[in-house]
Structure 1
């Protein structure tokens, strides 16, 4: 007597495939890090970084829990969160040092330095927070990305204003004019970075370019005006010009590497955890901010060292 073999039904096969897919999804969901190919499209930004990604969490608690292990955002997160704390503490420390040493220090000096420290702390804090929660969900990632770029606007604008203040210290009308220009440009950049399509990968070069443009238009022209008035050598003391130029170079270098995705494009997968362009950009931002701060202290000392009027 022949025995008939049952063929697996289409329904059974479909259920098996569905269960397998759900099992894979659960593994990805609970894995600490996953590969580029495991990511949903909204998390895919730089295909030269092939591993070390955190899976989507839909949970702020789980996103912040990623602070406890190494992944490809760890350097981006900690470099700027720690940097924000350092600059906040530096602001208070500098204030306690300056107040007793310089009787001629004015409220305007405090406001000028406050612009810098506020811009730096906001930028670094918003950046570190964004990179921490960027794996939460598409909605949170988009909003956080906008805040990240808004923080860069705060940093650039907050750095430019004290530079103009000291560079054109003896020409308050020029300071007011260039500060107004900087405010308008900064406001324009703030509006642009909140646009939805601005955060897409295709706009990467434009993201870099718009911040370079703000820095050039808000800083370079006023500094050149100062050089015309006083000469390059004197502006090195009046505005800490050498250190301001170094700051500009570091920002442009970082933005260029970020836009070019170098060095990871030369060897995909080799810079997943350490040394990617975004991480280098973060480090150069810190170095540029430190350079700018040192230049401001030189300029401040020039006008308040008690050796007579500088105007």
Structure 2
């Protein structure tokens, strides 16, 4: 027995030694990793308010920006929060796939849409924060991609709320218009965010924020209206609904995240001290991941517990139509992003020629 214990301890020690060698291995793999810069050393367009240091140099090879995933800079935490969030969603996806027939049950497709759209927005966000520092055009392009992912997530939220969470009287009021309006608002949200980014430094900050926040706020209010209606209509009996605590959680997490998205706190209170950790956008990411995980769990519980209701409310053809509308919405948002990238490219070319 003692020999076996010593062998296991020896193996553990070897594994720990290998882990300790990871930073050295990364350094050897990327010996040319450059140090970060202060805000005065990068173009004004790349500067974030109240963030004074941790900026990566522009115009490096793609390898540098990919490997900067393991470097300390002012976007490191933003990247990892959504990378880890995507990993959590993948784990949840694998767990649900053990009990949910995503391929054979049409009524599981709204839940599948939410899972795919959640992975999309987190992956696009991580890519934007990791790779957008390469150049001004890349900055625009990757954040436009991020907005496409956000729009897809808005659609995924709308379809699970309408399909699983809606009460019968609310469904009767909005049936036939809910999902088309949700798709339209997703596209308008993507357009508003892209245009606000395009006019980033030619409009006052509050005007850009209004252009980005108002369409997204309208989309959120519409997409979540079945949940709000359900909370109000079943308030006395909410304690007996297993999904309701998760619906309340997703609303609380989302509204909290919106605060940190619209306001640069706490870095406004501590300028230069949140360059690596503690930025409001990092808190926004964490709270949005928590919102998404609550939303997935609530939708799964509704899928299990409210089946008689949604089978009666939705015919067999609605779920395939909603999935097709999800794809169509993604295509339209991608075209919007491509159109805005073209405008940015023309603007940059004209500016370069005028120098």
Map 1:133-282 onto structure 2 (within 5 A): 133-168=131-166, 174-195=174-195, 197-198=197-198, 200=200, 202=205, 203-220=208-225, 222-226=226-230, 231-233=234-236, 240-282=243-285
TM-score (norm 2): 0.68
User: RMSD in angstroms over aligned alpha carbons?
Assistant: 3.0
Distance 2:228 2:88 in 1: 31
Indicate conservation of the 8 Å contact 1:258/1:281, yes or no.
yes
CA offsets, 1:98-124, max 9 Å, x none?
Answer: 349xxxx97233211111111100000
2:49 is aligned, of 37, 47, 50, to 47
CA offsets, 1:137-159, max 9 Å, x none?
Answer: 00010111111122111112211
Deviation (angstroms), 1:97: 2.5
Indicate conservation of the 8 Å contact 2:108/2:303, yes or no.
no
1:93 is aligned, of 95, 102, 108, to 95
Indicate conservation of the 8 Å contact 1:168/1:175, yes or no.
no
Distance 1:189 1:302, change over 3 A: same
Distance 2:131 2:300 in 1: 35
Deviation (angstroms), 1:249: 2.6
Map 1:52-91 onto structure 2 (within 5 A): 52-91=54-93
Indicate conservation of the 8 Å contact 1:167/1:238, yes or no.
no
TM-score (norm 1): 0.77
Aligned to 1:32: 35
Deviation (angstroms), 1:47: 2.8
Q: Structure 1, unaligned stretches of length 5 or more?
A: 1-28
CA offsets, 1:167-204, max 9 Å, x none?
Answer: 23757764543122211211222233333655626213
Distance 1:291 1:64 in 2: 31
Count of residue correspondences = 273
Distance 2:240 2:120 in 1: 28
Q: Structure 2, unaligned stretches of length 5 or more?
A: 1-31, 314-355
Aligned to 1:287: 290
Deviation (angstroms), 1:206: 3.8
> For the pair shown, which has the larger CA radius of gyration, 1 or 2?
1
Q: What secondary structure is seen at the aligned counterpart in 1 of 2:306?
A: helix
Indicate conservation of the 8 Å contact 2:52/2:272, yes or no.
yes
Distance 1:232 1:292, change over 3 A: same
Indicate conservation of the 8 Å contact 1:241/1:295, yes or no.
yes
Distance 2:199 2:293 in 1: 28
Distance 1:79 1:206 in 2: 26
Q: What secondary structure is seen at the aligned counterpart in 2 of 1:270?
A: coil
